[in-house]
Structure 1
Amino acid sequence: MPARTPWIRTFLCRSDNIGVLMRDPETGACAAIDVPEAAPVLAALKETGWTLTDILVTHRHADHVEGIPEVKRATGAKVTAPAKAGAAVPEVDVTVSEGDTVSVGALAGEVWETPGHCADHVSYVFAEAGVVFAGDTLFTLGCGRVLEGPPETLWRSLSRFLPLPDETQIYSGHDYVGSNARFALAADPDNARLKARAEEAQRAAAEGRFLIPSSLGEEKATNPFLRAGDPALAQGVGLAPGSEAERVFVALRAWKNRF
């Protein structure tokens, strides 16, 4: 189990973005993971009474950064962003690349470059706390759309998560769980655990909840994009059961694009 568990608050931004606040209980430092929209972030800070010290940006897309200027003016938070994003992220104080470390109070996170959705994407891996902020790389029951580079690049990024402990909590940047579940069932129809998760996703949606975070163990059992090495997924995309996982992933991602 993680040695230290941060306090984390999730909430909806825009139509389907997930806002996240992480507070270190030891020091009171608090980070927002991306700022899709200023008002929900500021409202969550007011509700919790937390003081924002940091903004950790996963990638440069507008739906993850457009609220930064207003939140920075209101809080004075330090903005950390991928170096490869260049000037596309506003109000940046610190840039980070593969292997760098970020700190939120006593919580230390490693920066992983996880391109595929876009070339500048990074994920923040807080291993001791047992949490990963995966942005638009890995979703509950899905993965990001490939917008820059070949799909093999995204597969290599996703593969980095697989060796992490199963209890690792994955926070993603969007709530696409409903559509992801429908595709996952089409690709992996005999997966009983997936069927149960899809039903859980339906209940959560009806109750105004979302299945974020998700544990890595659940994703490895039910997310077709992480299960590309399973013979059943290969057969589902018309490939031989022994096909390389990367080939299966590419076929799955192309199918999802048309789904």
Structure 2
Amino acid sequence: MPNAAPEIRAFLCRSDNIGVLIRDPESGACAAIDVPEAAPVLAALDAEGWRLTDILVTHRHADHIEGIAEVVERTGARVTAPVKAGAAVPGAARYVSEGDRVTVGGLEAEVWETPGHCADHVTYHFAKAGVVFSGDTLFTLGCGRVMEADPVILWRSLERFLPLPDETAVYSGHDYVLSNARFALAADPDNAALRARVAEAEALAKEGRFLIPSTLGDEKATNPFLRAAEPALARAVDLPEGTDPAMVFTALRAWKNRF
């Protein structure tokens, strides 16, 4: 029999980070994806009555790891970190790189190296569960800022998401949805699907909620950075149709930096 679907909870940490717990209901094993802040993660665990067994780190930036030490002290969870993060992640018990597998009870994820936002960034893809934890690589309606690479490197990382099934749930590391939406509308104003998603995001924000998770199908239809191969996005950055999508992406990312 197939494994039961994972239980997933997403909640706000700090001002705009997203904390996530994923639990295997059969074994009770539970992982946090990053620990931006200890208190909200511990509160979510207490509210659900879940026991944390693992912490899966996407990258070494402080706003994704600063709560790890306190949570490990409270729970004894094992920390898995990108090998390229080195000693920057406190208490790491295991280091992973491209193609490695991690398990949370009966749930299994493949590790993708997805550099661009930073050199050590990884993504955790739970293929059978239809879930991907993209950290600061892919956001709802946006993508991460390029900090340690040529923009083409981040584009190559984003391309890895495109073949995934449309129903794949995408959990990103920040709630930047409304600011991303403003840029997306500027870059792709004639996109009816985008306008509908922005309206949905605005309605959720009024209720104190956020448009995370997204789905890959929605992102392919509305996220300008995943749509760099579309003629409309080339035109938006004054490039001819048929321009290499990597060049279109680079121009879009530069525009977003100034937006």
- Give me the TM-score of the superposition, normalised by structure 1: 0.99
Question: Which amino acid counterpart does residue 44 of structure 1 have in structure 2?
Answer: A
Match of 1:231 in 2: 231
From the superposition, tell whether residues 3 and 64 of structure 1 become closer, same or farther in structure 2 (CA, over 3 Å): same
Question: Equivalent residue of 2:92, what SS?
Answer: coil
**Equivalent residue runs for 1:33-112 within 5 Å:** 33-112=33-112
> Any unmatched runs of 5+ in structure 2?
none
The answer on whether the counterparts of 1:138 and 1:144 sit within 8 Å (CA) in structure 2 is yes
**SS of residue matched to 2:156:** helix
Cα offsets for 1:54-81 (capped at 9, x unmatched)? 0000000000000000000000000000
Residue identity (%): 75
Corresponding residue for residue 8 of structure 2:
8
**Equivalents in 1 of 2:66, 2:231: separation in Å?**
42
**TM-score, normalized by length of structure 2?**
0.99
Where does 1:107-122 land on structure 2 (aligned, <5 Å)?
Answer: 107-122=107-122
Cα RMSD for the two superposed structures: 0.8
Q: How does 1:1-259 map to 2 (within 5 A)?
A: 4-259=4-259
Cα distance per residue 1:119-147 (max 9 Å; x no partner): 00000000000000000000000000000
CA displacement, residues 179-207 of structure 1 (integer Å, 9 cap, x when unaligned): 00000000000000000001111111110
Which letter maps to 1:109? Answer: A
Aligned mates of 2:211, 2:205 — CA distance in 1: 9
Q: For 2:231 and 2:164, how far apart are their aligned partners in 1? A: 22
| Contact persistence 1:136–1:174 (CA under 8 A) | yes
* SS of residue matched to 1:20: strand
Give, in whole Å, the separation in 1 of the partners of 2:228 and 2:80: 33
CA displacement at 1:5 relative to structure 2: 1.9
Name stretches of at least 5 consecutive residues in structure 1 with no aligned partner: none
Contact 1:36 1:65 (8 Å CA) reproduced: yes
- 8 Å CA contact 1:113, 1:120 repeated in 2: yes
What amino acid is the match of 1:235? R
CA contact (8 A) 2:111 2:123 kept: yes
Count of aligned pairs between the two proteins:
258
Return the alpha-carbon distance in structure 1 between the equivalents of residues 204 and 175 of structure 2. 11
Report deviation, 1:242.
Answer: 1.1
Structure 1 residue runs of 4 or more that deviate by more than 3 Å after TM superposition: none
Equivalent position SS for 1:202? helix
